[in-house]
Structure 1
Amino acid sequence: MPDDATWAAALHAVLDDPRLLALHAQPLVELTSGEVAGYELLSRFGAPGGGEPVPFPDAPPDAWFAAADRCGLGAPLQADVVRRAVAARGDLPPETFLTVNVDPHLLVHPEVAGALTDHDDLSRVVVELTEHTSAEGGAEALNRVLDEVRRRGGLVAVDDAGTGYAGLGLLLQLRPDVVKLDRELVTGLNADPVKRALVEVLGDLTGRMDAWLLAEGVETEAELAACIALGVPLGQGWALARPAARMLPALPEPTVEFVRGTAARVGLAENVASLLGPAPAGRDEALAEVLLDARDRPVSVRRQGGGWARPTVLAPSTPVTDAARRAAARPAADRFTPLVCTDGTGRYLGVVRVDGLLTALARLAG
């Protein structure tokens, strides 16, 4: 491996010359429709045609960021990536979002935090917390920055759920909007009943937190089919699409057909998509059954007996049995309040009424 002097020279070159760092986009895909819901932006180092001004280490991005930390350049490098990611919103196709990876110990650094909070509007941006290093100042400092991100319309994701950084304690502390299954869980998921059981548990937990579960590292069609069968709402990996220099607005048709065909074979009758119905929605309490925020995301739903409740949010691919468990686990006053379905960006789609849910449950049991 290169010594730190070589790394420092290469990193300074990257910070001085924007051509030496590019962000490639890997699609995040809805696993019922095959549509692209968003993109993870991934760092790629080196000039497109080669000929860098200093010897460039041939190493993966993780090694670059680790070297930046050792050389005292972690914050400026991370801030540069974050600034570019926020600016990339201008290239997003309609109704999509982007995620950018940030190490928790760097997110609390003023330069990195400022790259986010200098913007009044962070809608369509998801800050994805990676790696194991705790933030300086602990949970309180990290939560302050994340609260500012959310106040500006941004979302929060955690990586490595099930095996790594995103342990249960962290999920409970941060209550993220997106939870990414670790690729170790996804690899061989189709052939491992224990992994499938753990994914089901994590799916139920994230559902109760009103978060989205995303399977990363989906490399084979068998793993993709297993994720779809388990009702995982979002997927990412080479079985769907590889990272590219531009944001692909749609997947190749054969891939879309595979996702839709597999979802159809699983059976819409087993998912709440078949129970989705309309309900008056908007920002006027006198007219709406579901109150929406400025970005058309549900914030309250009217109780059957009057008053407002926090919405129980589902993906259309949520199994009927999981939806019924979540409905039954609510306080008695909310037991018959409609559940709310949203798309991959959190936008309102419709409601699932409890009587329809019970009918579907009885049909499945029969």
Structure 2
Amino acid sequence: MAFQPIYDAVAGRVWGYEALVRGLAGEGAYSVLSQVSPEQKYRFDQDCRVKAIELASRLFPADEPLMLSINFMPNAVYEPAACLRATLSAARRNNFPTSAIMFEFTENEEVADTAHLQNIITEYRKHGFTTAIDDFGAGHAGLGLLVDFQPDLLKIDMKLLRDVDTSPARQAVVDGIVGIAEKLDITVLAEGIETEAEYLMLKAAGIRLFQGYWFAKPAFEELPAVRDVHGVPAVA
């Protein structure tokens, strides 16, 4: 696992870290996931969750409130309560609070059964987990999925945000997403931020949470140093 920080522009500190799967030779998530067969998905999904929790329990400062964000594959979850057993066991074993864990499901994986997804989210919330839609606006279902399911957090896909500071069309889309999220009481995160201009534009648009190379690149099995945004260290 590699870890990439999520920066809170309001608090001026790191809000949490996303755990990103990596190959043994440093291969990216896409390369690794492309090698996972349908028969291996469930076991792979479970192992990634446990690994992320184990590493975070060792790396996160004990005196700082940080969130651990974990990606999961909805189609790998056959029965929500049963699939959470390994996660809950890992959290207890490592003394890691479930309230500090956020599960992201990506729009890039098509979910044919939205009722099944709703059952997953309901079960996760029952145990105190935060939920998020990843890659919003670039996958199989955008506003339709948001209508069916309101997560705690919405991550706007980087393709919608690239050069947003110079694109009126992208700015209009962002304003629309932020407005909808505000009415639904959903926190918005801008991902894939690569320049200060993008960050300042999106912060002015009302976005609170940020992630991207401009803040820090993912670091393999460690917490990377984070850009000094306000003249003081942003690391938690």
The reply to whether TM is greater than 0.5 is yes
Equivalent in 62, 65, 78 of residue 45 of structure 2: 78
CA distance in 1, matches of 2:207, 2:166: 17
* Higher Cα Rg, which structure: 1
The aligned residue for residue 218 of structure 1 is 193
Structure 1 residues without counterparts, runs of 5 or longer: 1-22, 49-58, 261-366
The aligned residue for residue 257 of structure 1 is 231
The aligned residue for residue 337 of structure 1 is none
CA distance in 2, matches of 1:34, 1:165: 34
Equivalent in 171, 174, 199 of residue 196 of structure 1: 171
Distance 1:175 1:161, change over 3 A: same
The aligned residue for residue 116 of structure 1 is 87
Distance 1:88 1:46, change over 3 A: closer
The within-5 A match list for 1:282-297 is: none
The question of whether the paired residues in 2 share the 8 Å contact of 1:182 and 1:216 is answered with yes
SS at 1:184's partner residue?
helix
The aligned residue for residue 14 of structure 2 is 36
Structure 2 residues without counterparts, runs of 5 or longer: none
The question of whether the paired residues in 1 share the 8 Å contact of 2:22 and 2:32 is answered with no
Distance 1:169 1:258, change over 3 A: farther
Instruction: Report the Cα offset of residue 109 of structure 1.
Output: 5.6
The within-5 A match list for 1:193-342 is: 193-244=168-219, 245-248=221-224, 251-253=226-228, 255-257=229-231
SS at 1:40's partner residue?
strand
- 1:106-162 deviations in whole A, cap 9, x for unaligned? 133677444335568621111100123215xx1222222221211111011001222
The within-5 A match list for 1:94-105 is: 94-105=64-75
CA distance in 1, matches of 2:161, 2:185: 22
CA distance in 1, matches of 2:100, 2:56: 7
Distance 1:66 1:162, change over 3 A: same
SS at 2:34's partner residue?
helix
CA distance in 1, matches of 2:69, 2:76: 16
Letter in 1 for 2:46: A
The aligned residue for residue 357 of structure 1 is none
SS at 1:37's partner residue?
strand
Structure-2-length-normalised TM-score = 0.84
Runs of 4+ in 1 over 6 A off after TM superposition: none
1:65 aligns with 2:33: yes
- 1:53-101 deviations in whole A, cap 9, x for unaligned? xxxxxx532132122135x212111110011223345243312101111
CA distance in 2, matches of 1:207, 1:259: 29
Instruction: Report the Cα offset of residue 257 of structure 1.
Output: 3.0
CA distance in 1, matches of 2:3, 2:98: 18
The aligned residue for residue 128 of structure 1 is 104
RCO (CA 8 Å, sep 6+): is it higher in 1 or 2?
2
